[in-house]
Amino acid sequence: MKKRLLFLCTANSARSQMAEALVNHDLGDRFEAYSAGTAPKTPHPAALKVLAEIGIDHGRARSKSLEEFEGQPFDYVITLCDGANETCPLFFGGVERVHLGFEDPARATGTEEEVLTAFRRVRDQIRVKIEAFLKDKTQE
């Protein structure tokens, strides 16, 4: 049976969307990932673009509110930004809550290429850090 993960960020537009897509693509045989936001906004086009660059089509993504998942069972609830970590609700009691913080690429400024570079860097950091975390969990 697959372990269920919920990635939380404030807007559910960049980091949590990328984490959801990466885990489902790379580790979908063992994990089922979802994402939500405490104040959801539309998925960031740059997040979708840098996922597509590595062969992940997340174009049907939509930002989801945390309330959509209330009462659902998860093995891990993983916050990716400080805001979500501080406001993570108590209804996720009984699951392992983890904070793996990443900078917000949506705050990047500059040319389109500079912004995409920031998104690529965070995408790659998310992939490495989350896969390492989940590898440790499968060995427990």
Beta carbons within 8 Å of 41's beta carbon, 6+ residues apart: 11, 12, 13, 63
Q: Is 70 a catalytic residue?
A: no
Catalytic residue of the set 5, 8, 9, 106 = 9
Angle value at C-alpha 12, between 79 and 80, nearest 5 degrees: 20
Q: How many CB atoms lie within 10 A of CB 96?
A: 11
Q: Is 9 a catalytic residue?
A: yes
Q: Is 130 a catalytic residue?
A: no
Catalytic residue of the set 19, 23, 81, 106 = 81
Catalytic residue of the set 88, 100, 106, 126 = 88
Residue 100 is encoded by which pair of tokens? 């793996």
Q: What is the strand order of the sheet 76-79 is part of?
A: 31-37, 3-9, 76-79, 96-99
- Residues known to be catalytic: 9, 81, 88
